[in-house]
Structure 1
């Protein structure tokens, strides 16, 4: 009797295994979201990284006065010396 049972199970394994795996996967998926406590967001509602960065940049610029800029002369005072001149001795 056992050899006949094992032969039958082996022959029909894909037809039995797939529905069982599907049910176990669906139950596990819903159980995981139940434990987490929040619903999964659809992909359309999520913002991309680029959109989030643009929103953050706009919020940073919202409180600034864009007409006040640093003059070019002030910028040149703080620029480092050229890389090639760093190892040369200073002339006095």
Structure 2
């Protein structure tokens, strides 16, 4: 008797497993919504890092006077020699 029972269970397992899993999933889904509540409260989304960076840069730009710039003649920076010309002797 037991071998026949296990053969039937093994043969019809896919036909029994899917409806059982479907019912368990549906009950779990509705139970979760019942416990959680009907109206979920909206969550305030925090600004992303890139959005905060853009806002900060815009605030910095608004605070500056763009008509007051340093003259190119007044800059004390110098242009470094090209990398390829470092080991080359200077031509006179």
User: TM-score of the superposition, structure 2-length normalised?
Assistant: 0.46
Higher relative contact order (CA 8 A, sep 6+): 1
Larger Rg: 2
* TM-score (normalizing by structure 1): 0.46
Higher fraction of helix: 1
